[in-house]
Structures are given as structure tokens and as C-alpha cells.
Chains A and B, each alone.
Chain A
Amino acid sequence: MIQLRRARRYFIVGEQTVRALDDIDLDVAAGEYVAITGPSGSGKSTLLNAIGLLDRLTGGSYLLEGTDVTNFSDDELARTRREKIGFVFQFFHLVPRLTAAQNVELPLTLAGVEPAERRQRVEKALAGLGLSDRARHLPNQLSGGQRQRVAIARATVTRPQVILADEPTGNLDRASGRDVVEILEELNSSGITLLMVTHDPELAARAAREIRMVDGMIASDGRPGSRP
């Protein structure tokens, strides 16, 4: 599903080169549940952004579902994101002037899906997350947990193969955080590949596989909690 070879991402800051990803090799099979952990600044977000095609690699290669996407044009990248990838962010990133339903509808609108089908799919996505009665609410009328659920509905409404979640519980209290993770796990058990960055060892322990990053490199990769 995801295959990174000698993937590197360097940032030039003044005179210095920051090696946010330092020759990473990574294979993720379809349907896997992977937790990405590591100290702050170790390159977790950079890795996720590279996998999500929001960012380009400085070097190395990236195969997504067998297709080499390393040299895709910007428009091809946009289309691939639209069709294959769903993002869930720490800060939700809902458009404040749009209702919950309109936020969920947004990726379908961008993809040019027919209005009738859009409405149907939005309704289903909201219902699946227990948000039907919140469809007409604006984001600032929702709790943090509800907002993140709207964001998940938005990430899944296009039926992506991969969901990339960067600290999805980072802005939530424990209970709603657990809710959100359970929803993501349910999606995973329906076949969607799930990559989730988290600080919380307890959450990481629920995944089938944990990748620990340190200084832009993979320090360990295996069952959660295992240390080399």
C-alpha cells in the first residue's frame, strides 16, 4: 500500500539543514493500524504529510498502491489526495462559517460529485458518527469531541483508502479522545488503512504496530511497547 525508500525531507533553516526525515524505509500494507510515536520534533508530522502528499520529499521514492507518486505534478497530487487520502488534524480545521453538514460536504463538492448524491452521502456519514442532530450546527456550537467527529466524517465521506490522523486526540479531553480513537479503529476494522500520530502510550498500545521516530529516523518498528 505505502512504500517509502530512502525517503528524506530536509529543511534549510538559515545555515543549517534540518533532517526532518533521514533516509526512511517504510512499508505499510493495506488495512494496517499503525501508531507513530516519538518525541516532539522527531519528524512524525513531516512523515505523515509526506505520506499524505501534502509535502514533497527532498529525496528517495514513494510508491502508493504500486504507483510511483514521487514525481507527480501538483494537480496529480491534488487528485490523489482527493481520491485516496483522508486527513484528521489536531486542530480539526473546520471552516467556521459552514455548518457541520456543509463541512462534511466540502470534499465531495471539490470532487464535483452531484448534489443529490452529496446530500445522501453526507447524511450517511453524519449518521454513522451520531451527528445527525448536529448537521445544521456551526463549528463553534459544537464541543471539541463533536468537532473532531465532524472532521472524521469529512475525512471518510470520500471513502478513502488511507486515513492519516496527526494527534487527533491532542486537543480533546480523555473521554472524547477515547471516543474519537474508537471511531477511527472502527473505520480501520472496515478495511481502511489507519496511520495515527500520538503522544499517548496508552493509545499507541491499542495499535497493531508502533513506529517510534527519533531525529528523523525510525528508532523502532513492531508491536507496541516493544523496545529494541
Chain B
Amino acid sequence: MTARDLIAYATGSVLGYRVRTLLTLLAMGIGVASVVALTALGEGARRYVTGEFKSLGTHLLIVLPGRSETKGGAPPLMGETPRDLTLDDALAIDRSRAVRRIAPIAVGSAGVSYREREREVTVLGTTASFIEVRHLKMASGRFLPEGDPRRASPVCVLGAKLKRELFDAGPAIGRWVRIGDRRFRVLGILASEGRSIGVDIEDIVIIPVAAAQSLFDTYSLFRVLVEARSEEAIPRARQAIRDTIRQRHEGEDDVTVITQDAVVATFNRIFTALTLTVAGIASISLVVAGILIMNVMLVAVSQRTSEVGLLKALGATSGAIMRVFLAEATILSLVGAAAGVVVGYAGIRIVDRFYPVLSLSAPAWAIASAVLVALTTGLLFGVLPARRAARLDPVAALAGR
């Protein structure tokens, strides 16, 4: 029997038993579709999160007070009390040639009021370069002025939401708001940012870092954002930060420097693992589909014993019979897998329509492996029924009518 005849014969019987074919296609299809859809979700989430981090700024290093031994991990919560990271430290770092600009950050929380309205928000103290380091845009007015960072000028920039809540649609620029027990003049309003990580840039007020330090009565910075001159300069910048801090902190570089790459890489790893796990779980449904195919094929063999007997009487070898049934199982799983890929893609398209921000797409490796697993299970679970068919005694098979 040639391969073409084999396929034609197997296709004929696949088409001849509609219900059984539809059932197996359904099972295989659901299995493959879920693998495709779930990996697409995992991949989408991964890209979303790493994209978020990238949007924080390029060539960015983050300096935190205190040393953390885990590379690229979270800031230390416990351990020795580190020396404060001060504004002078930050300005010293700025002098390195590997560093383009820095933005020191001091944070706290305070009530912000205008006339009788008051809101409790995050107060972020920083310098003029923050807007460049974080790639923010202004909706109106201007950002903090350049100048000596040590000067605590009474000016502020409002987040879009805070502005709405204090002023409604009315003009805000040039007005005086009260933050804590001091008065600040509004310089500008931040544009609402589509996405943000960490601090909510909408519900925030930004003041000069020196003003924040005096408002919260502290010399310590929350962190320092450092932008390296280029991608290649990142290691040099890191070294410069360490050297500077060691010099200023009596020989101890008691800070943690997180590069964005490290953070992104960590998230990448986490999400890839997550995607693989989810895909693995979805593959279980493929195995279930394989078992269904086995069942269906076993029923097919017992329904068609007389056909098997006839084929043997007409001179088919056991090998030929085996190939016929394996071809059927393969066709079932192949078509099921194809249907699953189509359904999975359709699902992705639909989700993409409603949540374009995730920009879903199934990775090629997921589709390839789903189809491969479908084929393998189909074949694997097809072997047992095919062998049963091949071993049938032709006399008994024919007598069974």
C-alpha cells in the first residue's frame, strides 16, 4: 500500500465516522488552543512588564541606601542600619564622566490643600533633571527650575489627578497651594501617563528635593536615579557610584545599585517560567485528548473487526493494518491541532481587540511544541489500538460479522 493510498483510505474512514471524528477534533482542538492562548497571555504579560521597565528610562541605574547582597533584588528590609544617602552624595555621583544626569529622590506623604479642599498624596522631592530621567511630559506650565538643588524654593508641580481634584477645570498655574504647613506656588501640571510603575505619577506633587527634605525633616534620600551616558557606560557608572560612595562613607560602599537590565532580566525569567508552567498545565489537556483518541480508536477497532478481517483476507499484512490505524490517529490529531491553532489565534485576536495594551501574540515555539505534542500523543495513544487491530485473528474477525 503506497503512502498516498494509505492516507486516502485513512481519511475515508475518518470522514466516515463523523461523531467520533468531531469529538476527537474537539478534544485535541481545545488542548492545542489552550496551550496557544495561555502562552500568548504569558508572553504578553512578560513583554508588558519588561516594556514598563524599559519606559522608566534607558541606561538607568538606581541607587538605594544600604547594601543588598542579592543582585538585582529588592531593597534590603533588614540588616545593619546604613549610612544615609545624602544629597551631597548624589551631587558627587553627578560629577562622574560616565554619568549624564542624576535625579535625587526624597519621598514622603503630606496633605495638599487649596482653599477648603485637601488631599493626602505622595510628595516627591527631586530636581529639574527628573523629568528627563523619567521621560515625563508636561500637560501645561513648566517643571521644577534648574538651579542649585540645595535651594528649597517654594514651587511645585502637580499630577493630573491631583490637579483635577483640587482645582476641577479651573486654572492652577500661578496659584498657591499648602503642602503640610508651607505654601508652594504651582509651576505646572504633569501630563497623564498611560502607564507607570511604582509611584502613581497622576496622584502626586513634586517639589524641589531640598524643600522635601526640610518638609520631612530628613537628610536622607529615598534613592538616586542615575542615567549613564550610554549603554556601554553603565558598568563604568556603576563603578563610579561605588567609588564615590566609598570615598564619602569612610571606605564603605553601603549602597545598592540596581541596573535596569538586572531588573528586566529578573522579570523576564519570572515570566518565562510562568509561561512555561502555564503551557505545561495546558499540555495536560493534550494528554487527555490523546487518551480520548486512544479510546475512540479502540472503539473503532472493535467496530471494524470484520473490516480488519477482510483486509487480512485480501492480503494486508499486520504492518499494513497497523499503518492504517496509525494514519487515522495521526490525521485526527493533526487536524485537531490545526483547528486548535486556528481557535487559539482567534481567541488571541479577540482578547487583543479589547486589551490592546497587552499586545498578545503566541510565540512560535509554543505553537510548534503544541502541534508536536498533539501529534506525539495522537501517535503514542494510537499505537495500542493499532496493534490490537493488527493482531486480530482474521478467521475470528470475519466470523464476528
Q: Which residues of A contact B (CB under 8 A)?
A: 49, 52, 54-55, 74-75, 78-79, 81-83, 87, 89, 91, 93, 95, 97-98, 106-107, 109-112, 154, 158
Cβ–Cβ contact A81 & B395, under 8 A: no
Whether the Cβ atoms of B394 and A54 lie closer than 8 Å is yes
Partner of A82, one of B2, B314, B401: B314
- Contact A49 to B9, CB < 8 A, known contacts A78-B312, A107-B314, A110-B314: no
Task: Say whether, besides A49-B395, A93-B306, A75 and B2 are in contact (CB < 8 Å).
Answer: no
- Please, what's the 1-or-0 string for B1-38, where 1 marks a CB less than 8 Å from any CB in chain A? 11001000100110010000000000000000000000
Asked if A93 contacts B310 (CB within 8 A), the reply is: yes
Asked whether, in the complex, the Cβ of B313 is within 8 Å of the Cβ of A52, the reply is: yes
Contact indicator A112/B1 (Cβ below 8 Å): yes
Does chain A have a CB within 8 A of B152? Answer: no
| 8 pairs, CB–CB < 8 Å, chain A vs chain B | A55-B394, A74-B317, A82-B316, A97-B13, A106-B314, A109-B5, A110-B315, A112-B5
A89 CB to nearest chain B CB (Å)? 7
Residue of B nearest to A79 (CB): B315
Contact in complex: B316, A78 (CB < 8 Å):
yes
Interface residues of B in 243-295 (CB under 8 A from A): none
- Total number of B residues with any Cβ neighbor in A under 8 Å: 25
Is B318 located at the chain interface by the 8 A CB criterion?
yes
Knowing A93-B306, A95-B307, A110-B320 are in contact, say whether A82-B9 is a contact too (CB < 8 A). Answer: no
- The reply to whether the CB of B121 lies closer than 8 angstroms to some CB of chain A is no
Chain B residue with the shortest CB-CB distance to A76 = B317
Residues in B with CB closer than 8 Å to A98 are: 12
Residues of A within 8 A of B315 (CB): 78-79, 81-83, 107, 110-111, 158
Nearest 9 A-B pairs (CB), nearest first?
A: A82-B315, A97-B16, A78-B317, A107-B314, A81-B315, A93-B310, A54-B394, A109-B5, A75-B317
Q: Is the CB of A110 within 8 A of B313?
A: no
Complex Cα spacing A81 to B316, Å: 9
Using a CB-CB cutoff of 8 Å, which residues 286-332 of chain B contact chain A?
A: 306-307, 309-320
Question: Which of A54, A93, A95, A110 has the most chain B CB atoms inside 10 A of its CB?
Answer: A110
Closest B residue to A105 by CB, please name it.
B5
Q: Please, how many angstroms separate the alpha-carbon atoms of A91 and B401 in the complex?
A: 7
Contact among A52, A97, A109, A154 for B1, CB-based, below 8 A: A109
A111 to B1, CA, bound (A): 6
Smallest CB-CB separation from B12: which chain A residue? A97
Residues of B within 8 A of A54 (CB): 312-313, 394-395, 398
Residue of A nearest to B311 (CB): A110
When the two chains form their complex, are residues A55 and B320 in contact, meaning their CB atoms are under 8 A apart?
A: no
CB distance from A97 to the nearest CB of B (A): 4
In the complex the two chains form, what is the Cα distance from A82 to B316 in whole Å? 7
Find chain A residues with CB under 8 A from B314 CB.
81-82, 87, 106-107, 110, 154
User: In the assembled complex, how far is the CB of residue A140 from the closest CB belonging to chain B, in whole angstroms?
Assistant: 13
Q: Known: A49-B395, A55-B395, A81-B313. Contact between A110 and B319, CB under 8 A?
A: no
Interface string of B318-359 (1 = CB under 8 A from A): 111000000000000000000000000000000000000000
Instruction: Name which residue of chain B comes closest to A111, CB basis.
Output: B315
- B41-57 at interface with A (beta carbon < 8 Å): none
In the bound complex, residues from chain A placing their C-beta under 8 Å from that of B401 are: 91
The contact of A110 among B12, B16, B316, by CB within 8 Å, is: B316
A148 CB to nearest chain B CB (Å): 14
- In the complex, A81→B394 CA distance in Å? 12
Residues of chain A within 8 A (CB-CB) of B312 are 54, 78, 81
Complex Cα distance, B316 from A74, in Å, reads 10
Tell whether A89 pairs with B398 under 8 Å between CB atoms, given A83-B315, A97-B16, A109-B5.
Answer: yes
Are A109 and B306 interface neighbours, CB within 8 A?
A: no
Q: Which residues of A contact B9 (CB under 8 A)?
A: 109
Closest-CB distance, B5 to chain A (whole angstroms)? 5
Determine the residue in chain A with the shortest Cβ distance to B390: A74
Cα A74 to Cα B395 with chains together (Å): 14
Chain A hits for B306, CB < 8 A: 93
Other 4 A-B pairs with CB < 8 A, given A54-B312, A110-B315: A75-B318, A95-B310, A97-B16, A158-B315
A112 CA to B312 CA, complexed, in Å: 15
CB proximity of B66 to chain A, nearest CB, Å: 77
CA distance A79 to B394 in the complex (A): 15
Most buried by A among B306, B313, B320, B401: B313
Instruction: Give the distance to chain B from A155, nearest Cβ to Cβ, in Å.
Output: 9
Residues of B within 8 A of A49 (CB): 395
Closest chain A CB from B125 CB (angstroms): 81
Q: Which residue of A lies closest to B16 (CB)?
A: A97
Among B307, B310, B312, the one with the most A-chain Cβ atoms within 10 Å of its Cβ is B310
A75 to B310, CA, bound (A): 16
> How far apart are A87's CB and chain B's nearest CB, in angstroms?
5
A158 to B316 CA separation, bound complex (whole angstroms): 13
Cα–Cα, bound, A99→B319 (Å): 25
- Identity of the chain B residue whose Cβ is nearest the Cβ of A82 in the assembled complex: B315
Residue of B5, B307, B314, B401 with most chain A CB atoms under a 10 A cut-off:
B314
Q: How many whole Å from B62's CB to the nearest CB in chain A?
A: 70
